[in-house]
């Protein structure tokens, strides 16, 4: 047997240790946190709040296939396996949103009280949640309730009442990997297609219901002046508390935001409506970046026709928008739109008769102010749109440059 000196033994021991460490590093067993790791984490956190990277991540998420554990799901039918896989992959990305509002007591003091409850979808690992505007409207505080039981106060970063959409932000706890829901394509939907809804009806967290697309292109009036076009109709059971939650296709992609139900009794009767995800995709990045959506408008004061006005002025139409005044040297005046010249008192307002009656904007018939809001929902200031007016009984067509809606309505 060959004997080694003490120095040789130490040398071979150190050499063996180095080999083990290098092997471990090569296969990824050891990971050493350090300055570079900290900088990378900070960079990732910053990128998570960047709207451009958010859109890139959403595109990548859309290509992630469902993960089916066939060994665990063998006893179930194909449809059941699909439902189970979608729920297990995405239910933790659905949050329960609760709010606090402020009321005034008998002593005229502000008093917080429990508000409403709804659902939301985590759409970005930075803690962004997509929900309905009516879920968080008038809220003093907003709380995000996660699947692990954590309740975190959130901040409303942007609202779009016109489409009943809102984005809420919360700071994810350290070490928690958030699940997110990818966006799908609502323009490719077909009636009869299978859909799934996950939400918190009656505060029963992360409830799954299944149904089909029952109808497409439903124009639903959500307020006195706002109509959401192309709403998705579904028979998947939706109840109070489902608002703001995701409507998913069979691949687990969000194709709508559950918003309302038709219900004479107050409960689900199988007629629910969801805002199309393509509508949300148009506005989400802008809500995150600016807190609101800039939209175009006609820089003129308009009056929705009503029977008494039609009879008094002997108008040739019973519906449409009468142009009372145009902004001096504004876009409407430059486009040749004629304002009224005969002032009449109606209540506390003055209406100028004799102007054009707007009947169509951007290819959509306009019979009311709600129709005008709907027609210009996806148009930005500075864009040109086609417009039709009735002028003395004949139709006149022209194009008009849109002004900033917020500026026009503020004047």
Catalytic residues: 134, 164, 243
Q: What is the C-alpha to C-alpha distance for residues 1 and 12, in angstroms, rounded to an integer?
A: 17
Q: Taken in order 100, 292, 376, 274, is the CA torsion positive or negative?
A: negative
Q: Are 315 and 298 in contact (CB under 8 A)?
A: no
Strand partners of residue 50: none
What ranges make up the beta strands (E) of 200-341?
Answer: 207-221, 227-234, 246-248, 254-261, 272-276, 296-297, 300-304, 321-326
Q: Are 261 and 269 in contact (CB under 8 A)?
A: yes
Contacts of 293 (CB under 8 A, 6+ apart): 160, 162, 283, 286, 287
Q: Are 357 and 323 in contact (CB under 8 A)?
A: yes
Q: What is the C-alpha to C-alpha distance for residues 229 and 275, in angstroms, rounded to an integer?
A: 9
């Amino acid at each position: 047997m060959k004997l080694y000196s003490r120095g040789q033994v130490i040398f071979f021991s150190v050499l063996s240790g180095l080999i083990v460490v290098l092997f471990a590093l090569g296969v990824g067993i050891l990971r050493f946190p350090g300055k570079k790791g900290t900088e990378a984490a900070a960079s990732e956190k910053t990128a998570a709040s960047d709207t451009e990277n958010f859109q890139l991540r959403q595109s990548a998420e859309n290509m992630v296939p469902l993960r089916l554990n066939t060994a665990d799901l063998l006893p179930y039918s194909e449809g059941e396996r699909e439902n189970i896989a979608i729920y297990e992959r995405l239910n933790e990305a659905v949050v329960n949103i609760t709010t606090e509002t402020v009321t005034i007591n008998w002593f005229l003091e502000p008093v917080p009280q429990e508000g409403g409850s709804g659902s939301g979808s985590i759409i970005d690992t930075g803690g962004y949640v997509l929900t309905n505007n009516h879920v968080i409207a008038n809220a003093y505080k907003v709380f995000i309730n996660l699947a692990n039981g954590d309740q975190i106060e959130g901040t409303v970063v942007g609202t779009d009442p016109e489409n009943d959409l809102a984005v809420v932000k919360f700071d994810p706890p350290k070490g928690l990997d958030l699940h997110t829901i990818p966006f799908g394509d609502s323009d490719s939907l077909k009636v009869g297609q299978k859909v799934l809804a996950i939400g918190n009806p009656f505060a029963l967290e992360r409830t799954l219901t299944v149904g089909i697309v029952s109808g497409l292109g439903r124009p639903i009036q959500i307020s006195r002046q706002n109509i959401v076009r192309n709403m998705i109709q579904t028979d998947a059971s939706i109840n109070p508390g489902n608002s703001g939650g995701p409507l998913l296709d069979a691949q687990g992609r969000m194709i709508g935001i559950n918003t309302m139900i038709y219900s004479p009794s107050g409960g689900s009767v199988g007629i629910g409506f969801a805002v199309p995800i393509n509508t949300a995709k148009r506005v989400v990045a802008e809500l995150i970046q600016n807190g609101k959506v800039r939209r175009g408008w006609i820089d003129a004061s308009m009056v929705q026709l009503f029977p008494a006005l039609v009879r008094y002025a002997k108008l040739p139409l019973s519906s449409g928008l009468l142009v009372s005044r145009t902004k001096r040297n504004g876009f409407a005046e430059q486009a040749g739109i004629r304002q009224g010249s005969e002032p009449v008192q109606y209540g506390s307002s003055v209406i100028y008769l004799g102007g054009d009656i707007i009947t169509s904007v951007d290819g959509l018939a306009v019979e009311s102010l709600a129709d005008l809001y709907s027609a210009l929902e996806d148009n930005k200031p500075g864009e040109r749109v086609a417009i039709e007016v009735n002028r003395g009984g004949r139709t006149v067509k022209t194009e008009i440059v849109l002004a900033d809606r917020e500026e026009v309505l503020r004047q």
